Every structure is written in C-alpha cells, then in structure tokens.
Amino acid sequence: MLNNIGPAGFIIIAIVVLVLFGRGKVSALMGEVGKGITSFKKGLKDGSDEIEKSPDDASEHARDITPESDKDKV
C-alpha cells in the first residue's frame, strides 16, 4: 500500500495533518516521539550493559551443587 505513495503523496498527507491538528499539536507530538526514541535507545543500552556485566557477576557468586558421586562423570 505504501509503495504507491510518492513524495507528492507524503507532502499532501503532511499538509492535511498540519491543517487538521495545527502546528502546535504536531510540534508537541514530534517532541514526544523524539523523547520516546531517546528513552528506547537508553533502555537498549542499559539492557546490553546489564547483560555484559551479568556473566562476570554470576560466575563469582555461583556455587557447584553437583553431588559428589556425579563429579567424576563427564
């Protein structure tokens, strides 16, 4: 469906949205979209940092719970 819309179609859609909602509403909406994207990127970075730290922390606190009789088996 979007393959049939060219640059002129996007301009017409932008003009209609601007007329319907006004410059202030569109500007506020784009500001909120920008904040959302920034928050999403920060969340991804925090998650990847947590994953990178996790194996080191987990290995330090891990303990071997294998029964003594099974430790010889490979």
Q: What is the pLDDT of residues 34-63, one digit of tens each?
A: 999 999 999 988 888 777 765 555 556 667
Cα within 13 Å of Cα(53), Cβ side? 6
Q: Does the structure show a pLDDT above 80 at 72?
A: no
Phi/psi at 25 (5° precision): -65, -40
What integer best gives the mean pLDDT of the chain?
81
pLDDT at 12: 93
Q: What share of the chain has pLDDT > 90, as a percent?
A: 30
